[in-house]
Amino acid sequence: MRPETKGAGTSMDEEPILSVNNLAVSFDTYQGEVQAVRGASWHLWKGETIAIVGESGCGKTVSIQTVLGTNPKGVGRVKSGEILFHGENLLEKTEKEMRAYQGNKMSIIFQDPFTYLNPTMTVGDQIIENYRQHRKATRKEAESRVLEIMRLINMPSPEKNMRRYPHQLSGGMRQRIMIAIAIICGPEILFADEPTTALDVTIQAQVIDLMNELRAKLNTAIVLITHDMGVVANMADRIYVMYAGKIVEHGTADEIFKGSAHPYTKGLLGSVPRVDRKTDKDLYSIRGSPPDLIAPPPGCAFAARCRYAMNICVKTEPEPVNLGDSGHFSACWLNHPAFIRKASEKQGTEARHG
C-alpha cells in the first residue's frame, strides 16, 4: 500500500476513513467485458476534500457507485479489491446492510438535480423521507430539523420553499435541496458527482462556496468527481487523476496544478483556456480519444494519445512512481528512475560533446 499524505487540516497519524484498494469493476455486455475500473486505489481522510478527475468513461462514477453499493447487481461485477470504511469491507455487505450507510454515513449529490428529485413530492417531504429512514423522529421533529438544514444551506424563506415541488424551484435551488437531502443525517462522506456541471457559472459559484462552507462547518469529507479543473482548484485538497479505469497521477492540489508529472494530467490542464490569461496560440490538445475498455491496450492506456510515447509504453504498463515523500505519484515511464538516469546521462554526454 502506498502511503499518501492527507490534505490540509488533517493529521498524519489517523487512519483514512475510506480506503479503496485495487478495485476492479467490469460490466458484461454483448460485445464483451467492459473493464470500467481496472485496479484503482484511493484513500480519504476525515474532513478533507479529494477530487477524482477524468473524462467521461474513465471509471470515476462507477468507482463511487461501487463504494456506495448502488451498482446494479448482475450488471456491474466487482472483480477484485476491497473498500474499507473504518476498517470494514463494504463489498462483503448485503444490499440490505448497505442501506444503513446510504444517505446516512455516506451520501451523494448528482449532476442533474431535476432528474433525481421526485416530481410528485414536495422538496420538504423528500428531505424528511431520508431523515426518517435513518433516525427515529416524529414528523414534527423531522420538520424542525429540515428547517434547520434549509437555513444551513442558505435557502431563502425555508418555510415556504419546503412546501414547494421541484418544478417550482430553479436549478440552483434544486441543487441546494439535493445537498440538504444528502447532509441531513450528518454523513461522514459526501460524494459529489459533477455537482455543478448542469449549472450556470454564477450559480456554480454559489454552490461551490456552499459546499466549502458546509465542509468547514460539519467536518464532512468530500469526494468530488468532475472534469472541470477550475472547480477542482476551488475545492480539492488532493487530486487523483483517472484514465481508462486507473489512477495515473495523485498529488496535493498544488503539486498537480504546479508540477504535474503525467502527460495526461498536463494535457488536461493545458486544454482548458484560462479566463485570466490571453493567448493567441492554439490550445494544447490531446489527440485522439480514450481507448476502448473492452480490449484495453497491453501497455500504458494513454500511450496511443501521448506525444512522448516510447517503445516500452506500448508494451509494458508503467507502475506508479513516487515523486518525493509527499505521496505525489505518477504512473508513467518518463518518471521512472531508470529513464530519468538515462536521460540525464544522455544530456551529460551531449553537454560534453557540445
Partner 1 sequence: MGNDKLLEIQDLKVFYRLDAGVLKAVNGLSLAITKGTTTGLVGESGCGKTTLGKSILRLHKPDEGRILFKGRDIWTLDRKERKQFHKEVQMIFQDPYASLDPLCVVSDIIAEGMDIHGLYSGSERRNRVLELLRLVGLNEGHANRFSHEFSGGQRQRIGIARALAVEPELIVCDEPISALDVSIQAQIVNLIKQLQKKMNLSLLFITHDLSMVRHISDQIAVMYLGSLMELAPSDSLYETSYHPYTKALLSAIPVADPEVERGRKRILLAGDVPSPINLGEGCGFSARCAYASEICVSIRPELREREPGHFVACHNVDIINQ
**Other beta carbons less than 10 A from residue 233's beta carbon:** 15
The verdict on 33 binding partner 1 (CB under 8 A) reads: no
Closer residue to partner 1, CB minimum distance, 201 or 338:
201
**Type of residue numbered 245:** G
Angle between helices 123-134 and 139-152 (to 10 degrees): 110
Q: Site for partner 1 (CB under 8 A): which residue of 73, 258, 352, 353? A: 258
The verdict on 160 binding partner 1 (CB under 8 A) reads: no
The verdict on 205 binding partner 1 (CB under 8 A) reads: yes
The verdict on 8 binding partner 1 (CB under 8 A) reads: no
Q: Is 253 helix (H, G, I), strand (E, B) or coil?
A: helix
Closer residue to partner 1, CB minimum distance, 134 or 246:
246
Q: CA end-to-end span of the chain, whole Å? A: 44
The verdict on 112 binding partner 1 (CB under 8 A) reads: no
Q: Site for partner 1 (CB under 8 A): which residue of 1, 12, 275, 338? A: 275
Say how far apart CA 193 and CA 95 lie, in whole Å: 22
Q: Site for partner 1 (CB under 8 A): which residue of 130, 220, 234, 260? A: 234
The verdict on 62 binding partner 1 (CB under 8 A) reads: no
Core vs surface per residue 175-195: b (16+ CB within 10 A) or e: bbbbbbbbbbbebbbbbbbbb
The verdict on 201 binding partner 1 (CB under 8 A) reads: yes
Say how far apart CA 333 and CA 235 lie, in whole Å: 30
Q: Site for partner 1 (CB under 8 A): which residue of 81, 267, 299, 327? A: 267
> Going by C-beta distance under 8 Å and a sequence separation of 6 or more, which residues neighbour residue 282?
none
The verdict on 56 binding partner 1 (CB under 8 A) reads: yes
The verdict on 29 binding partner 1 (CB under 8 A) reads: no
* Sole window of 33-41, 102-110, 221-229, 340-348 interacting with partner 1 (rule: CB under 8 A): 221-229
Query: Are 321 and 308 a contacting pair, CB within 8 Å?
Result: no
Strands (E), 138-229: 189-193, 221-226
The verdict on 230 binding partner 1 (CB under 8 A) reads: yes
Chain residues binding partner 1 by CB under 8 A are 55-56, 156, 170-173, 200-206, 208-209, 227-234, 253-254, 257-258, 267-276, 278-279, 282-287, 289
